[in-house]
Amino acid sequence: MKTAVHPRSRKPKLNLRSPTFTLSKAKTYLGRLVEKASRGEPVYIVAGQRRFLLREVPQIEPIPMRPAGYFANAYSEAEIQECNMLAKASVIRAPKDLE
């Protein structure tokens, strides 16, 4: 005797061993896919004809703070005056007839 297949039968679960996932499945299981990518395993997300790679990005080291006066000898007094003059000239001012 055969059992009837219920129309609301569950879909098979996602195979997390596969490296490729559709966009809709990736949205549903994003947390698990992030864990997989953090272990160094390749995770590809397919959207139509395009493929995307999900991987962990290494943390960027912060730029160190420079002590006061670090750039004091970088420019001569003439170069500083020229830069200040050019900076003032490069500002676009509002027309005087506007309030």
Give me the chain's average pLDDT, please. Answer: 84
Q: What is the mean pLDDT of residues 67-92?
A: 87
The pLDDT of residue 43: 93
- Residue 8 clears pLDDT 90, i.e. is over it: no
Residue 71: predicted pLDDT: 83
| Residue 19 reports pLDDT greater than 70 | yes
Alpha carbons 81 and 85: distance in angstroms, whole number: 6
pLDDT at 63 over 80: yes
Contact (CB, 8 A) for 25 and 46 = no
